């Protein structure tokens, strides 16, 4: 920990976060120890199969109600403090939970989008997620909203009965709606990735927190940092694909590690 703090001292730090930083907010990790095996919805399935869209939207609605009530934890708040102190240049996150923004971080690039908004695939109209949730509840009053729903890092939940589920529709053109998140099999929009790359390029160190770096977008940013000669620090429980390229790897939880680093770095 002392060695990491010494390395970060005086260096502008870009931060890349994954699901592991949100576990203390009650949002489970995809790949951490004990995480259930899941088959995420692919964009191809969502677009081509109405029944799969129903399954996704039913689960996503139930999960989002729990997801939206999650609060930023000490890890999110510490990164906001470090940014406010001028030590962190910004946060690139693979999460779609919006917790970095709610914790007070001002420079946040949400690589995989956000669950806060929904767009029409046919006319492009954008809706607040709350408005779509209200439409779903009116159309599906039978849908269970139990506290026992098991949520996932993308706000999804497991729902078995979907045949009588009524899909939400665009209130402008009647078209298909999709949350503004990057599905599996879908590319991160080029302008958004360029924002993330620019943030790393303006920094002098890359700190990876709570990510196994199993997703290509994270590895691309890590490789950019490596090619520029930036020191890389990884904080994650368990192995990551970036361990071999890191100057330091801390096998530890996000919240407690960030709090200890802040104690050493902040006046």
Instruction: Give the residues across from 16 on adjacent strands.
Output: 92, 208
The answer to whether the annotation marks 56 as part of a ligand binding site is no
Q: How far apart are the first and last CA of the chain?
A: 17
The answer to whether the annotation marks 16 as part of a ligand binding site is no
DSSP one-letter string for 118-140: EEETTT--EEEHHHHHHHHHHH-
Q: Please, what is the angle between helix 254-265 and helix 74-84, to 10°?
A: 30
The answer to whether the annotation marks 81 as part of a ligand binding site is no
The Cα 99–Cα 74 span in angstroms is 11
The answer to whether the annotation marks 65 as part of a ligand binding site is no
Which residues does 257 contact at the CB level (< 8 Å), separation at least 6?
Answer: 1, 209, 235, 250
Closest CA relative to residue 99, chosen from 91, 130, 147: 91
Name the catalytic one among 61, 76, 100, 112: 112
- Please confirm, yes or no, whether 100 is among the known catalytic residues: no
Which residues does 73 contact at the CB level (< 8 Å), separation at least 6?
Answer: 21, 22, 24, 25, 99, 255
Q: Detail the residues annotated as belonging to a binding site.
A: 120, 123, 170, 173
Q: Detail the residues annotated as belonging to a binding site for Zn(2+).
A: 120, 123, 170, 173
Active site residues: 112
């Amino acid at each position: 920990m002392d060695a990491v703090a010494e390395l970060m001292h005086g260096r502008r730090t870009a931060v890349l976060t994954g699901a592991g930083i949100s576990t203390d907010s009650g949002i489970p990790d995809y790949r951490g120890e004990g995480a259930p095996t899941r088959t995420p919805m692919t964009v191809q399935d969502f677009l081509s199969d109405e029944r799969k869209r129903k399954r996704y939207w039913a689960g996503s609605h139930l999960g989002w109600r729990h997801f939206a009530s999650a609060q930023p934890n000490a890890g999110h708040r510490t990164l906001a403090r470090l940014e406010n102190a001028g030590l962190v240049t910004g946060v690139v996150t693979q999460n779609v939970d919006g917790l970095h923004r709610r914790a007070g971080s001002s420079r946040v690039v949400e690589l995989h989008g956000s669950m806060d908004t929904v767009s029409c695939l046919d006319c492009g109209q954008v809706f607040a997620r709350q408005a779509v949730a209200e439409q779903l509840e009116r159309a599906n009053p039978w849908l269970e909203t139990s506290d026992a729903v098991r949520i996932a890092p993308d706000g999804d939940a497991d729902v078995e009965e979907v045949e009588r589920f009524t899909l939400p529709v665009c209130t402008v053109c009647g078209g298909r709606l999709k949350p503004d998140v990057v599905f599996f099999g879908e590319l991160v929009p080029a302008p958004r990735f360029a924002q993330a790359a620019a943030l790393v390029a303006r920094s002098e160190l890359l700190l990876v927190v709570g990510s196994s770096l199993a997703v290509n977008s994270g590895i691309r940013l890590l490789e950019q940092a490596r090619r520029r000669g930036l020191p890389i620090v990884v904080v994650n429980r368990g192995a990551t694909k970036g361990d071999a390229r890191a100057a330091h790897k801390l096998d530890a939880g996000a919240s407690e590690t960030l709090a200890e680093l802040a104690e050493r770095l902040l006046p």
